Amino acid sequence: MAFAQLQSLFQSNVFASSLSWKVLLSGLCVALVYLLGTNLRSYWRLSHIPGPFFAAVTNVQRMLWVKSNRAHVIHLDLHRKYGPIVRFGPNMISVADPKEIGTIYSFKKPWPKSDFYRALLLKTSRKPVEGIFATQNEAIHHQLKRPIANIYSMTYLLSFEPYVDTALKVFTEQIDKRFASKAPQDSAIKSKENICDLSQWLQMLAFDVMGELTFSHRFGFMESGSDIDGAMNDLWNNSQRTAIVTQMPWLEPIYTNNPLQRWLRGGGTSPGVRFAQKRIAERRAMAKGDLKKEWTVNNRDFLSRFMEVEANESVPPYALMVWTGSNITAGSDSTAIFLRAFFYHLLHNPRTLDKLLEELDGKAREGKLDTPAKFKQVYELPYFNACFQETARMHPALGLPMERVVPEEGVMLCGRYIPGRTVVGMSSWVTHRDNETFGQDCDGWRPERWLECGPEEKRRMEKGLLTFGHGHRDCIGKNIAFLEIYKIAPTLLRTYEFELLDPSEGGDWRVYNRWFVTQKGFKVRVKRRAVA
């Protein structure tokens, strides 16, 4: 009897086990069929768009392009191979033709931002928070931007010129003391003492200018000649990780924002947010009398205006943190990148540099250009503006396609139908090298292209620039960049002579694309210039 029961039990367990395996295998088969069907559907819906084979089946390839730090170069090569519209992923298309800018980044009927931007949200100790640039929610974007938009107008920002001048004064004092005073009298003599890492010093200048404008207080990078608390390095490290995740956004909670990572980076707060929160806490403590005022606060600086808005408007509780954090992160990096590119191209093109110096010195002799330069004075200079435009074209700060989602009804782009819900984007590095718009020599530096063309051609080139984005989601801080660059670049050019170092001497210019296309190894010899 016992044996019969045992046999029955065994048989039933075997049957149950066999049934379990059948159920499991059936489930796996259903899952595989579903995945295969989904991938096939994804493959076929965009099969009419040319591109590399693996881009049709996986996003891994475009993630690896970003990981290589050369995505902007790879993207341009792909467009020159396949044409103005290229498939970069199973559901992602890159567009190169500047004529499509108004369609993809429309003012009147804006397309929503893709999940690309989810990875760019500012991190806090709890969860990412929506910012003006990265939010996908149009209502939040409006709520954050509307009450502060007028603060970023050029009319308002011109009142900040004295604070840019203060930072410039500190910069020139430090350059004089550390490098220019050590320059040999004989220009043929090479000295190691007057070698300046201009990539680092321009970044420190941009940071300290933003400190003056936002908090009435420089961070002290220039006085110390170093990256205080590793803030700049932290921002770069954060950018390296984040850029990879933008290509496969579902990795964000795993790769850049999991609980362990939040704990390792001090509760999960982004470097820019952490930096801003510290300054906000200082200002609140000073207002209460809990902290001695060690500097004079300009009651019209960005933080003062942001706090007024916070007190009088209905804004999200994290608004103050987002506004100040964005000023520091985006404002300093983009300006430093532009300034490096500006000086790099001038130093590599002596004829252009001589022509620009002739314009600057001529205006100074006429009494129409001060030191430090005033924005309105420089704004009137044709050749400087041509060099500015050419820098904006040759080396925009952002180096990945700015992604949008096609409306449900679909759209025609570059003569091809793109179905609804497809992700499309344009990279400024690709668009700015369009032969039809910018000429057959568009791969090279030539500021004259902005002066030799007629009004209509110039307008077409200007409309083809995506340096500061386009449409209602363009860069809110672009006027800050204009103010800084139009003052800093002419002032430094008239004050110093810069000589590029050979790679053998350490002058190893390198470009890294991790969303921001930053540059490192820009080393020069510097000495005071005898101004005519």
**Three-state secondary structure readout of 66-80:** HHCCCHHHHHHHHHH
Q: How confident is the model at residue 30 (pLDDT cuts 50, 70, 90)?
A: low
Would you list the DSSP string of 145-212?
A: HGGGGGGGSHHHHGGGHHHHHHHHHHHHHHHHHHTGGG--SSTTS--STTEEEHHHHHHHHHHHHHHH
pLDDT of residue 34: 46
The two tokens of residue 378 are: 């420089």
CA-CA distance, 7 to 433, in Å (whole number)? 79
* Residue 9 exposed, middle or buried by CB count within 10 Å (0-12, 13-18, 19+): exposed
Rounded to an integer, the average pLDDT of 462-491 is: 95
Provide the domain count of the chain.
Answer: 1
3-class state of residue 417 by DSSP: strand
Higher pLDDT, 11 or 295: 295
pLDDT of residue 405: 98
First CA to last CA across the chain, in angstroms?
A: 116
Across 8-12, 109-113, 227-231, 476-480, least confident range? 8-12
pLDDT of residue 270: 63
Q: Is residue 98 part of a domain?
A: yes
CA-CA distance, 162 to 436, in Å (whole number)? 42
Q: Is residue 31 part of a domain?
A: no
Count of residues in the chain: 532
Omega prior to 372 cis, within 30 of 0: yes
CA-CA distance, 135 to 181, in Å (whole number)? 48
pLDDT in tens, 343-400: 999 999 999 999 999 999 999 999 999 999 999 999 999 999 999 999 999 999 999 9
CA-CA distance, 427 to 96, in Å (whole number)? 7
* Residue 115 exposed, middle or buried by CB count within 10 Å (0-12, 13-18, 19+): middle
Q: Is residue 269 part of a domain?
A: no
pLDDT of residue 9: 45
Among residues 472, 432, 450, 484, the alpha carbon closest in space to that of 157 is found at 484
From residue 438, how far is each of 96, 230, 325 by CA, in Å?
Answer: 13, 40, 36
Across 59-63, 294-298, 373-377, 444-448, least confident range? 294-298
Give percent of the chain above pLDDT 70: 87
Contact (CB, 8 A) for 216 and 298: yes
CA-CA distance, 15 to 21, in Å (whole number)? 10
pLDDT of residue 94: 98
pLDDT of residue 241: 86
Contact (CB, 8 A) for 219 and 231: yes
CA-CA distance, 242 to 121, in Å (whole number)? 10
Side chain identity at residue 104, one-letter code: I
Q: How confident is the model at residue 272 (pLDDT cuts 50, 70, 90)?
A: low
Q: Is residue 506 part of a domain?
A: no
Q: Is residue 129 part of a domain?
A: no
State yes or no: pLDDT of 10 exceeds 50: no
Among residues 406, 158, 443, 128, the alpha carbon closest in space to that of 261 is found at 128
From residue 139, how far is each of 145, 200, 312, 315, 404 by CA, in Å?
Answer: 10, 38, 19, 11, 17
Residue 37, phi then psi, degrees to nearest 5: -65, -40
Which residues on neighbouring strands pair with residue 135, listed in sequence order? none
CA angle 418, 66, 332 (to 5 degrees): 105
Higher pLDDT, 100 or 120: 100
Which residues on neighbouring strands pair with residue 511, listed in sequence order? 519
pLDDT of residue 454: 94
Q: What is the mean pLDDT of the chain?
A: 88
CA-CA distance, 270 to 276, in Å (whole number)? 10
Q: How many Cα atoms sit within 13 Å of 506 on the Cβ side? A: 10
Q: How confident is the model at residue 6 (pLDDT cuts 50, 70, 90)?
A: very low
Which residues on neighbouring strands pair with residue 513, listed in sequence order? 517
Across 38-42, 65-69, 321-325, least confident range? 38-42
Q: Which helix (H) or strand (E) is 425 found in, with range? A: strand 423-426
Contact (CB, 8 A) for 212 and 218: yes
pLDDT of residue 190: 73
State yes or no: pLDDT of 57 exceeds 80: yes
| 453 labelled binding-site residue | no
pLDDT of residue 224: 93
Q: Is residue 249 part of a domain?
A: no
Give Cβ neighbours of residue 476 (< 8 Å, ≥ 6 apart).
Answer: 132, 133, 145, 149, 152
pLDDT of residue 502: 81
Which residues on neighbouring strands pair with residue 104, listed in sequence order? none
- Residue 93 sits in which domain range? 46-120+399-444
Q: Is residue 69 part of a domain?
A: yes
pLDDT in tens, 321-343: 889 988 887 778 899 999 999 99
pLDDT of residue 170: 96
The two tokens of residue 256 are: 């850049």
pLDDT in tens, 187-228: 666 777 789 999 999 999 999 999 899 988 888 999 999 988
Among residues 119, 517, 487, the alpha carbon closest in space to that of 334 is found at 517
Q: Is residue 93 part of a domain?
A: yes
3-state DSSP helix/strand/coil % of the chain, to nearest 5: 60, 10, 30
